[in-house]
C-alpha cells in the first residue's frame, strides 16, 4: 500500500481527512502524534484531535522518533503521522542540524513507503507565504520544505488539502 502525503495550510482539514480515510480501514489504526502541549491552547488543540479519533485506535505520542514509532506499528495497521510540521520544529528545537533532520526524514519516508499497510502523513505547506523575517524562521521554512519534498517523492499519492477538499499532486 502506498504512502500518502496530505499537504495544506493550518486548519485546511488535513487531519480530519486523515481520520476519515483511516476510519474506512478494516484493520487496526495507529496514530503517531508529534505535538507537545507547551501551553494551555496547544493542550486544547491536542485534546480536540484526540476526541476526533475512535477510542479503539492506538496513539503513540512521539515528538522526535518517527522511525521508532513506525517500526512499532503492526504490519496490518493503517498509520497516520500527524504531523511533519511539528516534527520538523521539534527536531530543530532539540538541536538537530539541518542535515540530521533531512536525513531522518529521508529514512522515515523510505520506511513509511515500504510498509505493507497504508501510511498517511500530514504536513503543512509552509512555503506559500512571505519569506520569514527572522533567520530561524527562514531556516525552519527551508528545512521543512526539504522534509515535505522527501515525503512527496516517496509517496505513491500526494494531495494538497484546502478547505477540506483535495487536489492531487503529480
**Tell me: the pLDDT tens digits for 28-82?**
999 999 998 889 998 898 898 888 889 999 999 999 999 999 999 999 999 999 9
pLDDT, position 49: 85
Give the integer Cα–Cα distance in Å for 53 and 17. Answer: 11
Query: Is 144 an active-site residue?
Result: no
Query: C-alpha cell of 14?
Result: 488535513
Quick: pLDDT tens for 89-124.
Answer: 999 999 999 999 999 999 999 999 999 999 999 999
Give the integer Cα–Cα distance in Å for 51 and 147. Answer: 28
Could you say which of 12, 18, 49, 160 is catalytic? 49
First and final C-alpha spacing in the chain: 18
According to DSSP, the β-strands at 157-162 and 3-8 are parallel
Give the integer Cα–Cα distance in Å for 158 and 44. Answer: 29
The DSSP H or E segment spanning 161 is: strand 157-162
Contacts of 97 (CB under 8 A, 6+ apart): none
CA count, 13 A, side-chain hemisphere, 107: 13
pTM passes above 0.85: yes
Amino acid at each position: 500500500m502506498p504512502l500518502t502525503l496530505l499537504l495544506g495550510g493550518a486548519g485546511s482539514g488535513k487531519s480530519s481527512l486523515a481520520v476519515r480515510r483511516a476510519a474506512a480501514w478494516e484493520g487496526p489504526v495507529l496514530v503517531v502524534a508529534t505535538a507537545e502541549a507547551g501551553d494551555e491552547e496547544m493542550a486544547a488543540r491536542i485534546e480536540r484531535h484526540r476526541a476526533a479519533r475512535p477510542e479503539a485506535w492506538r496513539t503513540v505520542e512521539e515528538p522526535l522518533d518517527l522511525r521508532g514509532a513506525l517500526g512499532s506499528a503492526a504490519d496490518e495497521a493503517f498509520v497516520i503521522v500527524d504531523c511533519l510540521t511539528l516534527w520538523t520544529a521539534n527536531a530543530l528545537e532539540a538541536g538537530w542540524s539541518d542535515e540530521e533532520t533531512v536525513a531522518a526524514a529521508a529514512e522515515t519516508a523510505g520506511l513509511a513507503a515500504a510498509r505493507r499497510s497504508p501510511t498517511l502523513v500530514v504536513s503543512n505547506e509552509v512555503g506559500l507565504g512571505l519569506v520569514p523575517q527572522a533567520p530561524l524562521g527562514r531556516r525552519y521554512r527551508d528545512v521543512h520544505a526539504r522534509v515535505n519534498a522527501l515525503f512527496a517523492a516517496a509517496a505513491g499519492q500526494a494531495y494538497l488539502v484546502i478547505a477540506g477538499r483535495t487536489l492531487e499532486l503529480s
